[in-house]
Each structure stands twice: as structure tokens, then as C-alpha cells.
Amino acid sequence: MSQGQTYLDNVETSTGLTPRRFIELADERGFGAAGTKTGEVVAWLKTEYALGHGHAMAIAQVIKHRETVDIKNIETTSEPPISIGRLWLDGKDTRPW
């Protein structure tokens, strides 16, 4: 498992929220819009969810680069071009590997 996936799993354990839920919450607050600065998202995650800097950065990168990390079916979907890696966004207990 990648270090990035470990960060996402740890955030889910501490907050009870999946990475996909963080994307939804970010969109509701306007943080998913083009031009949103990563620092703004990180500050929100640190304040609202008491995440440390590294964990907040991991979630912020998923929010920012969602199209290049969202692998719904790892066995039949190829890794997207310019990907930051295969990451599972739908919860650690549903991960197929």
C-alpha cells in the first residue's frame, strides 16, 4: 500500500470521513473550484478536523487532483495519465486490495 493511501486511511480512522466525503464537503464550501489555493484547503482541514499538516496536505491533494486519483475499479481501470497514484477514495473497509 502506498504512503498516500496510508495517510488517507489514517485520516478516515481519526475523522470517520472517507476521502470521497471530504471531496463532497470541499465542494459544498467552494474549495473544489478551480483556482482554490491548496493552503486554503489545508487551513480548513486543520481547523475544522484537527488534522496535522501532512494529513491535511494528503486530503487537499485528493480534493485538488481528484480526477487523477479516483480509481473506482482497480482491476479494470487503467491508471489515469499524470496520476499521483492509485488511491482508494471510498473508505478503507471497501478497498478491494
pLDDT tens-digit map of 50-93: 999 999 999 998 998 876 665 554 455 555 555 455 788 889 99
The 8-class DSSP code of residue 16 comes to S
48's enclosing H/E stretch is helix 38-49
Instruction: Measure the CA–CA gap between 37 and 4, rounded to whole angstroms.
Output: 20
Instruction: Measure the CA–CA gap between 33 and 93, rounded to whole angstroms.
Output: 29
pLDDT tens-digit map of 2-32: 778 899 999 999 999 999 999 999 999 999 8
How long is the chain? 97
Q: Where are the domains of the chain?
A: 3-65
Residue 6, amino acid: T
pLDDT tens-digit map of 27-38: 999 998 889 999
Q: What is the pTM of this model?
A: 0.82
